[in-house]
Amino acid sequence: GSADVEYDLVVLGAGPGGYSAAFRAADLGLKTAIIERYATLGGVCLNVGCIPSKALLHVAAVIDEAEHVSTAGISFAKPSVDVDALRAHKDKVVGKLTGGLAGMAKGRKVDVIRGYGSFLDPNHIAVEETTGTSQDKTGQNKVVKFKQCIIAAGSAAVHLPFIPRDPRIVDSTGALELRFVPGKMLVIGGGIIGLEMATVYSTLGARVDVVEMMDGLMQGPDRDAVKVWEKQNASRFDKIMLKTKTVAVEAKEDGLYVSFEGEGAPTEPVKYDMILQSAGRAPNGKKIGADKAGVIVGERGFIPVDAQMRTNVPHIFAIGDIVGQPMLAHKAVHEAHVAAEVAAGHKSAFDATVIPGVAYTHPEVAWVGYTEAQAKAEGKKVETAKFPWAASGRAIANGADYGFTKLIFDAETHRVIGGTIVGPSAGDMIGEVCLAIEMGADAVDIGKTIHPHPTLGETVGMAAEVAHGSCTDVP
């Protein structure tokens, strides 16, 4: 067919997957364009995900810490919260980053085509121009021709079908808009996103209930870490309802009346001022006309790919949330680089042994590779070394002696195959465990590595030293 513009490579979606792929491809010499319906680059992560949530979580952590130092003889007045100024601060953080990306796209001569993209056939995408922040369509259409394409269209929050439309009922995007701080808030879904937002809103003054269908909060990490988290966060919540479902929501003028069913369910409907739906995210695979390009999309909307990130159509790749779990920005970026490199004719493959997960709550929970629970489920023989932060000088000095660092070793090779850390900055520390796993390090390698004292990061070395005793190759 006839096209308005033509590129070597077109990337559909400008999230961490999409912009990383486009920039790498441009660096490798491909004439590249990104199609994006949002007004700014950065996707969910920069605009309504990782970054704005962390801007707010940082503020919450400072408030929590300020309260904590009262035990050290320092007390502050109750914080006064200016929601408008806080929102402006968050928007400024996001703006710095999305502005930076726009500059980087320009610098690399990557064209950004604003609009909603949908495949017409295996070499063309129709783009309906969008405008403003509301994604309104202008009626202008453009056909973009490509030699190769990378699908990076991401995911969207799941909305429960029986929940009415009401400005007091939000998903994570709405919660990050921070329009008001409710008196009483319900968080549906006790996963990372829900608990991060619960942390922000409770620190700002809301009373929070959490309802979760499963038998525990945060599905990823070992229960001992979650237990520590729960103890530290007990005062935030009125109720944590496990093995419980939300079954009905009635929006009345004076509040949202919610009915529950299950083990933790109250008998009467409970009244809330705000509800956050954070019961999962679904890939956007079924919303891009993939069938017209011949690209196979799975039942749940994920697009299957190989180690080169190719779909079943060899010149069309897919990366990020749209190809599967874990739906995390750092996974998307690494997949993006592989897809771009392969598209540019380089030999490359996605071959990560592990992908870390982090709850950026207070305290943080970070985990990577095998958990004890997973090893047990698989019947894998492991050795576990747990270093309690009560024995770390720095953790005690920082008021974080409740944390721990745990390493999991293969019982035969003594190589580290997993790690879990709970405590402030756990997410910053888990990178060392990731590197150790990727490098095939054993307990001696980590334990004999001199870590700076006194640091929280030192606990990784100390946990490895705990494991020395059980290693056969220790002199």
The annotated binding site for NAD(+) is made up of 189-196, 212, 280
Q: How far apart are CA 40 and CA 104, in angstroms?
A: 13
The tokens describing 213, both together, are 């269908």
14 vs 421, beta carbon nearer ligand FAD: 14
Q: For residue 363, is the peptide bond before it cis, meaning its omega torsion is within 30 degrees of 0?
A: yes
Write the CA distances from 151 to 29, 95, 154, 384, 396, integer angstroms: 19, 25, 9, 40, 48
Residue with Cβ nearer ligand FAD (70 or 325): 325
Could you list the residues known to form a binding site for FAD, using ranges: 54, 117, 321, 327-330
How many distinct helices (H) and strands (E) make up the chain? 14, 22
CB of 44 to ligand FAD, least distance (A): 4
Of 75 and 353, the one with the shorter C-beta distance to ligand FAD is 353
Cβ-proximal residues to 292 (8 Å cutoff; 6+ apart), any chain: 118, 119, 120, 121
In the complex, least distance from residue 251 CB atom to ligand FAD, rounded to whole angstroms? 23
Q: Which of 58, 159, 315, 453 is catalytic?
A: 453
Nearer to ligand FAD, 288 or 297 (CB): 288
Category of 240 on φ-ψ map: left (φ > 0), alpha (ψ -120 to 50) or beta: beta
What is the C-alpha separation between 396 and 341, in angstroms, rounded?
Answer: 47
Report the residue number, 61 or 467, with the smaller CB distance to ligand FAD.
Answer: 61
Q: CA-CA distance, 288 to 304, in Å (whole number)?
A: 15
Residues that bind ligand FAD (CB under 6 A): 12-18, 35-38, 43-45, 49-50, 53, 116-118, 152-155, 172, 193, 284, 288, 320-322, 327-330, 332, 360
Provide the minimum distance between the beta carbon of 111 and ligand FAD in the complex, in angstroms, as a whole number: 14
From the number of C-beta atoms within 10 Å of its C-beta (0-12, 13-18, 19+), residue 465 rates as middle
**Euclidean distance between CA atoms 468 and 442, whole angstroms:** 9
**Closer to ligand FAD at the Cβ: 35 or 55?**
35
Continuous H helices in 187-240: 192-203, 223-233
* DSSP designation for 26: H
453 tagged catalytic? yes
CB of 18 to ligand FAD, least distance (A): 5
Whole-number Å distance between alpha carbons of 43 and 320: 11
Minimum distance from CB of 445 to ligand FAD (Å)?
27
| Alpha helices, H only, 365-421 | 372-378, 393-397
Q: How far is the CB of 459 from ligand FAD (least distance, A)?
A: 22
Q: Could you give the angle at which helices 50-68 and 83-107 cross, rounded to 10 degrees?
A: 140
Question: Closest approach of Cβ 290 to ligand FAD, in Å?
Answer: 10
Nearest residue (CB) to ligand FAD, 197 versus 400: 197
- Residues annotated in a binding site: 54, 117, 189-196, 212, 280, 321, 327-330
Handedness of CA 370, 376, 380, 386 (dihedral sign): positive
133 vs 177: CA distance, rounded Å: 13
Catalytic residues: 453
